[in-house]
Amino acid sequence: MPTLDPGPRTWALRLRTSDFGLRTGFTLIELMVVITLIFILASFAMPMYHVAVVHAREAVLRDDLFTMRKLIDEYTIDKQQPPTSLDDLVQAGYLRGGVPVDPFTGSNDTWRTDTEDVPISADQSSAGIVDVHSGSEDTSLEGTPYSSW
């Protein structure tokens, strides 16, 4: 069986030949081009991934704040006095899973609470929690601090 001459020598990787004498495989240049294209595409995807993660954390924070504010109001109406701490909501069974974790601080101890006198009756008031905010000093994608939400 005659052998095919591989042609002039090149600086490419040595290629294997198939049973039919054809070259198979990729050259070093081809592999470098493909890897470069993968890195370029990944560099476009990483910022979008980061924004998506922050957006998801913001959605969790909004939901947690809405839930805790609603439960503070329900507790105040049911018990005829506002809670003195977020643990009061847990002990009374309003927050069954415990105080939620702040998605930006990673802790459930960093929530900031606003305390005011809440009128119970026409001549009576009681001090307690009326609002809750994130303990994070970071700024949202909208440009507002999370602690002001």
The string of pLDDT tens digits covering residues 16-55 is: 555 566 667 889 999 999 999 999 999 988 889 999 999 9
Considering the domain boundaries, does residue 141 fall inside one? no
How far is Cα of residue 129 from the mean position of the Cα atoms in its chain?
28
How far is Cα of residue 108 from the mean position of the Cα atoms in its chain?
16
Q: Show Cβ contacts of residue 113 under 8 Å, excluding neighbours closer than 6 positions.
A: 85, 86, 129, 131, 132, 133
The string of pLDDT tens digits covering residues 61-112 is: 999 999 999 999 999 999 989 999 999 999 999 999 899 999 999 999 999 9
The string of pLDDT tens digits covering residues 94-104 is: 999 899 999 99
Q: Are 148 and 131 in contact (CB under 8 A)?
A: no
Considering the domain boundaries, does residue 10 fall inside one? no
| Residues of the domain holding 92 | 27-136
Q: How many domains does the chain have?
A: 1
Considering the domain boundaries, does residue 98 fall inside one? yes
Considering the domain boundaries, does residue 119 fall inside one? yes
Considering the domain boundaries, does residue 148 fall inside one? no
The pTM assigned to this predicted structure is: 0.71
Alpha-carbon distance 6 to 12, whole Å? Answer: 12
Considering the domain boundaries, does residue 48 fall inside one? yes
Considering the domain boundaries, does residue 62 fall inside one? yes
Helix ranges (DSSP H) in 3-99: 28-79, 86-91
